[in-house]
Amino acid sequence: MNAPDNVSRRALLTGGLATGLLLAFHLPLRADPNEPVQKDVTDGKFAPNAFIRIDATGRTVLMMPQVEMGQGVYTSISMILAEELDADWDKVEVQHAPPNDKFYANPVFGLQATGGSTSIRAWWMPLRKAGATARAMLIQAAASQWGVDAASCTASKGEVAHAASGRKLGYGELALAAQSQTPPKDVAIKDPKNFVLIGQPLKRLDTPDKVNGKALYGIDAILPDMKIAVIANCPVFGGKVGKVDDSAATKIAGVRKVVVLDDAVAVIGDHMWAAKKGLDAVKIEWNEGPNAKISTKDIWQDLRAASEKDGAVAKSTGDIAKALASGDKFEAAYEMPFLAHASMEPVNATVRVTKDSCEIWTGTQIMTRVQSEAAKAAGVAVDKVIVNQHLLGGGFGRKLEPDMVVAAVRIAKQVDYPVKVIWTREEDIQHDVYRPVYRDQITASLVDGKVAAWKYKVAGSAVIARWLPPAFQKGIDIDAIDAAVDAPYDFANFHVEYVRVEPPAVPTGFWRGVGPNNNVFAIECAMDELARKAGKDPVEFRRSMLTKNPRALAVLNLVAEKSGWGQPLPPRVGRGVCLQPSFASFLATVVEAEIDDSGEIALRRVTSVVDTGIAVNPDTVKAQIEGGLVFGLTAALYGEITIDNGRVQQSNFHDYRMMRINETPKIEVTVVKSGESPGGIGEAGVNAGPPALRNAIYAATGVVLRRLPIDRKLLAVGKKA
Amino acid sequence: MIMVARNLADPIIVSDPANQGMHMATTLTINGETKSFDAPPDMPLLWVLRDILGMTGTKFGCGIAQCGACTVHVDGKAVRSCVLPVSAVANRAVTTIEHVGSTPSGAKVQKAWLDAEVIQCGYCQSGQIMSAAALLAATPNPDDADIDAAMAGNICRCGTYVRIREAIKLAATGRQS
């Protein structure tokens, strides 16, 4: 079901773009010494490609084309490179790659972006080849020094050895000689059975500095003469600044300057407290503009109406019209709210602008776009913009957008010192780029206890059309239908449509779990309702339609066993299952939940089994599923952004709630052994939580929930949905 | 090793103390050292640490004591520094993440956090570690209810709660739960 190496998402193939995007990428075998971003780091070192630097002491620096936002990718990418390089793992250091699409573009997107659970899938083969190429050149260097055949030499832990003569040379000693070797044309990569690092639960490289306050996130940047700014964006989407009275603000000690932009006001101070107090003291009249009356109530009304229209057909097999005309018919619509990202590190950027340059300190998921957008805002050439990448205190898709950097550039342009622009949590939540509202309709028919026809229509915003325009073709958002077209079951008559519906003025973007969030929820809720209609157990019902999908069947069977599926439970306690093939990984999850008489929900236990192909670092895979489940369950229990009078109504963690440790159940994740190419893992767990919990509630109470977040009022004893 | 960490020996650059009209001289004991500086008395300790003293290990998350990212110890107790006016801690002992490893419970927690590989993005973990260290100093063998009570004020958006619970037990007992 996947393209070679799982690089191209099925959806990209559907869009007819994968080939072009993939061809746009090539692995640079040797860094061009004239390339400015490369020169200073390659001098006097073995630099066989854009990813590996070995100096004469054997110090091995690996350049990270993907950003670290908690998903463990600095470690996993290093493991892939070090495996094929046969580096000494204890000597490996990582450094963030500079913005450069030529060297570091993510092969899936054609730009240097981290998202969509693509890092390992996209870089698996390119990085293995990069590591193997370097190893081959080091071996050649040693062989020629010893006057022996390279084939008689081996490499291990940062050394080349010639067994016949007992000679050994470290990579540091070989670095200069290796630099002048010709890279092999078709380099051999390892047979996975010979992996020594890949597949091991190695300790993460980034965590030791995260227990003692040393790790630097974007918000921790400190520069000489730097000041701090706090921003107030117009509270109404698309509104502008009207009148500003800053007379009280400028009297506050520590306030340096009030900056008035066309759509925002910022106060710069000696420290955050002065800036914040200053901003509180500025009297701003906003020109609210045409969106002053928009509300989620109206947005939902429009979405419901628009979703009734026929959509663009993303996939169709069999004869859907004929198949739907017979059998036992089922129809349902599932609705998902706007969501904010709320990464723990609030949105921020530090910028210094001069007449002809711009320097940025931030943690971003999209380095080259930050660079090009900052250049436009600063009015300088792209190559005059330096981006200093930092660790991200969570990304979740929010930092796939450059808006916070652009805002900081516009503020920093007004002063002659560097400014760190920090968004308060309130600004962060009220001026996010939101996970769109979706309405997913499923029409199906049952014949002999199985699904004979499945028609699935997704309606919602096309994030792809804005974020990666070339990938938006034939009216289909390939992300919004990603898991819809990949439903794992044997549906002979299968039809998927997409209706693009853009909410007025509300910016929409990627949110951890991306398109499959809406798809997996709708599919897995519908499957439970269909199972009940067919009079079958939900696991048994799914099993009967997995004859062509052995990997999906295997994780489902194992999760049933590990979760105690089918064993008796007390009243108002239920188990719910979710099965999904998404991001080229297979995940089966069972949530066990108890619903008290008032409708309050207690999570008792979560069990997941994942087949992600070769797990580069199985402990990281486990951690990503654990965390993803909490992220998704948080959304199911609490997540909803609402809008009234053009304004977001939530503002901080008291009204945009997160799950806490006291609400977190035991979570057991099993990573199955597999020899398949690695799948994506950062988002899969997010998709699993909401449908599995909803199905547990369905089992416990019989209440049919078709809308997120879960409405407790419908679950109180005596209520019917 | 990651090249995106601050060497704690690096000189800290702070904004120059101009515009001192409303400020007052304050002396705090932070991590065992006496620090004198000028700050408005209502300025939360968080911003004194981060923006005046250049100690960025303590994090800003919400500003309203809802998330715990800013947790520090004052006289050994976990407090939210984002809502704690600096005037309230004059002459009291403040300990931050940069120094908690020198306390017995802090060192145990840091080690357990790495052994259990708790951390993902890490942004909330300064606060998590400070809360856990204060818990263990007061309650050396916490049960699940003790852990819930001490840690429920610390949000982790990456969802590392399962491992936080495991690591606290590991720190308390020296073995996996």
Q: Which residue of A has its CA nearest to B149?
A: A662
Mean pLDDT of A419-430: 98
Residue of B147, B143, B117, B153 lying closest to B132 (CA atoms):
B147
Judgement on whether residues A599 and A628 belong to the same structural domain of the protein = yes
- DSSP structural state of residue A164: T
For position A267, which CATH number holds?
A: 3.30.365.10
Q: Which residue of A has its CA nearest to B59?
A: A345
Residue written as token pair 């599926």 = A565
Among the partner-chain residues B51, B98, B153, the one whose CB lies closest to the CB of A228 is B51
pLDDT of residue B174: 83
Residue A427 resides in a domain: no
pLDDT of residue A42: 60
Beta-carbon neighbour count of residue A477 at 10 Å?
A: 27
pLDDT tens digits, A654-711: 999 999 999 999 999 999 999 999 999 999 999 999 999 999 999 999 999 999 999 9
pLDDT tens digits, B44-73: 999 999 999 999 999 999 999 999 999 999
Burial A488-509 (b: 16+ CB within 10 A, else e): bbebebbbbbbbbbbbebbbbb
Judgement on whether residues A363 and A303 belong to the same structural domain of the protein = no
User: 3-class SS at A647?
Assistant: strand
Distance of alpha carbon B57 from alpha carbon B95, whole angstroms: 11
The pLDDT confidence band at residue A720, using thresholds 50, 70 and 90, is low
Q: Which residue of B has its CA nearest to A390?
A: B4
Query: Where does CATH 1.10.150.120 sit in chain B?
Result: 100-173
Both tokens of A604, joined, read 């008792």
Both tokens of A157, joined, read 């832990």
pLDDT of residue A16: 30
Side by side, which strands form the sheet with A666-671?
A573-582, A585-595, A601-611, A666-671
Distance of alpha carbon A82 from alpha carbon A132, whole angstroms: 9
Q: Is the pLDDT of residue B158 over 60?
A: yes
Judgement on whether residues A509 and A455 belong to the same structural domain of the protein = yes
pLDDT of residue B26: 85
Judgement on whether residues A149 and A269 belong to the same structural domain of the protein = no
Residue of A616, A516, A544 lying closest to A200 (CA atoms):
A616
Whether the Cβ atoms of residue A22 and residue A695 lie closer than 8 Å to each other: no
Judgement on whether residues A569 and A498 belong to the same structural domain of the protein = yes
The better pLDDT of the pair A393, A3 is held by A393
Fold of B24-95: Ubiquitin-like (UB roll) (3.10.20)
Q: CB-based burial of residue A535 (10 Å sphere; 0-12 exposed, 13-18 middle, 19+ buried)?
A: exposed
Judgement on whether residues A358 and A448 belong to the same structural domain of the protein = no
In chain A, residues with a C-beta closer than 8 Å to the C-beta of B158 are 70, 344, 394, 627, 630-631
Q: Which residue of B has its CA nearest to A418?
A: B15
Beta-carbon neighbour count of residue A309 at 10 Å?
A: 11
User: 3-class SS at A111?
Assistant: strand
Whether the Cβ atoms of residue A397 and residue A346 lie closer than 8 Å to each other: no
Q: Do A93 and B163 touch (CB under 8 A)?
A: no
Q: Do B18 and A270 touch (CB under 8 A)?
A: yes
Distance of alpha carbon A551 from alpha carbon A189, whole angstroms: 26
Distance of alpha carbon A610 from alpha carbon A616, whole angstroms: 13
Quote the mean pLDDT of chain A.
93
Residue of A538, A563, A516 lying closest to A669 (CA atoms):
A563
Judgement on whether residues A229 and A377 belong to the same structural domain of the protein = yes
- DSSP H stretches of helix in A7-118: 10-14, 18-23, 36-42, 73-85, 101-104
pLDDT of residue B23: 65
In chain A, residues with a C-beta closer than 8 Å to the C-beta of B120 are 70-72, 623, 627
Give the range of the structural domain holding residue A203, as residue numbers without chain letter: 4-209
How many structural domains does chain A have? 3
In chain B, residues with a C-beta closer than 8 Å to the C-beta of A415 are none
Judgement on whether residues A393 and A263 belong to the same structural domain of the protein = yes
pLDDT of residue B176: 63
pLDDT of residue A31: 34
In chain A, residues with a C-beta closer than 8 Å to the C-beta of B10 are none
In degrees and rounded to multiples of 5, residue A233 shows phi and psi of -80, 155
pLDDT of residue A172: 97
Q: Is residue B37 less than 8 Å (CB to CB) from chain A?
A: no
Distance of alpha carbon A563 from alpha carbon A606, whole angstroms: 8
Q: Is the pLDDT of residue A197 over 60?
A: yes
Residue A594 resides in a domain: yes
Q: Is the pLDDT of residue A450 over 70?
A: yes
The pLDDT confidence band at residue A714, using thresholds 50, 70 and 90, is very high
pLDDT of residue A329: 97
Q: Is the pLDDT of residue A317 over 70?
A: yes
Q: Is the pLDDT of residue A105 over 90?
A: yes
Q: Percent of chain A beyond pLDDT 90?
A: 93
Q: Percent of chain A beyond pLDDT 70?
A: 94
Q: CB-based burial of residue A628 (10 Å sphere; 0-12 exposed, 13-18 middle, 19+ buried)?
A: buried
pLDDT tens digits, A526-577: 999 999 999 999 999 999 999 999 999 999 999 999 999 999 999 999 999 9
pLDDT of residue A130: 96
Judgement on whether residues A38 and A126 belong to the same structural domain of the protein = yes
Fold of B100-173: DNA polymerase; domain 1 (1.10.150)
pLDDT of residue B16: 45
Residue of A666, A617, A393, A72 lying closest to B128 (CA atoms):
A393
Q: Do B5 and A215 touch (CB under 8 A)?
A: yes
